[in-house]
């Protein structure tokens, strides 16, 4: 889809994107978030309660406001990835990419043959306007999709340079909370050991010439991530925005 080309081209051109996680699977919440002016939303199929048909309503809400839709799939699985791409998303996040082999598998799942092994149903899927422009879609799909490998374990840190060098991986997206847990510092993403590991990932991405994405931590704000050259920053989540606003309002009224 043309929207996906615009989004990937935009961040490749050096314009950082600010995004919001969609965890509630509420089309109304998605529309409010998109209307607020975020560059993108990320539909979380890994931890959110929804599934593919639920995600379609979120795509309608976000794309209707000119907000690029990204999606995190629940696993590095070709069937799951295929179904996500057929919905027509601008970018896909693959969780827990720990090895070069897993990175190559992820890329292959995102590409049509002969470059990959994505199932071919472009004549009917939403991504190609239900087949109305399937030839154009197939011609551009491989290059227009932003492929994000999530680096979130100690094993992945050691392989970050090799993962970043895999052709077709566009971004290393750092998951600081899972990473800290894998390093025996659960709930402490700013621990010195974790920060050092994140530094290794950042260096690997820069050396390979791929993009960086991440989540702010208590001691490293979105502004600091931007200063560090992150192309995609997912600082907010619909659940957290509603939770925090509700608590703040209630506390103010009780006071």
| DSSP line for 223-246 | HHHHHTT-SEEEEEEHHHHHHHHH
197 to 12, 153, 166, 204: CA distances (angstroms) = 25, 10, 20, 11
CA nearest neighbour of 40 among 14, 3, 75 = 3
- Please tell me which residue in 47, 60, 185, 191 is annotated as part of the active site: 47
How far apart are alpha carbons 216 and 233 in whole angstroms?
Answer: 8
52 is catalytic: no
Structure tokens at 16: 């950082």
Residue reference for tokens 């931590």: 217
**90 neighbors 146 (Cβ within 8 angstroms):** yes
Q: Tell me the catalytic residues.
A: 47
């Amino acid at each position: 889809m043309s929207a996906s080309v615009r989004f990937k081209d935009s961040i490749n051109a050096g314009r950082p994107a600010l995004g919001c996680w969609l965890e509630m699977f509420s089309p109304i919440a998605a529309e409010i978030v998109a209307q607020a002016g975020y560059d993108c939303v990320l539909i979380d199929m890994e931890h959110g309660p929804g599934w593919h048909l639920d995600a379609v309503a979120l795509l309608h809400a976000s794309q209707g406001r000119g907000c690029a839709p990204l999606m995190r799939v629940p696993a590095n699985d070709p069937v799951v990835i295929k179904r996500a791409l057929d919905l027509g998303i601008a970018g896909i996040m693959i969780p827990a990419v720990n090895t070069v082999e897993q990175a190559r598998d992820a890329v292959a799942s995102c590409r049509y043959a002969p470059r990959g092994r994505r199932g071919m149903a472009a004549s009917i899927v939403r991504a190609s306007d239900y087949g109305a422009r399937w030839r154009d879609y197939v011609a551009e799909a491989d290059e227009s999709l932003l492929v994000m490998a999530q680096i979130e374990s100690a094993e992945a840190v050691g392989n970050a340079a090799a993962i970043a060098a895999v052709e077709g991986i566009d971004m290393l997206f750092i998951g600081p909370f899972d990473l800290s847990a894998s390093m025996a510092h659960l709930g402490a993403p700013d621990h010195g050991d974790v920060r050092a590991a994140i530094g290794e990932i950042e260096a690997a991405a820069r050396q390979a010439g791929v993009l960086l994405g991440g989540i702010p931590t208590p001691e490293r704000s979105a502004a600091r991530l931007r200063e560090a050259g992150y192309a995609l920053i997912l600082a907010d989540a619909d659940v957290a925005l509603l939770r925090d606003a509700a608590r703040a309002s209630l506390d103010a009224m009780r006071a």
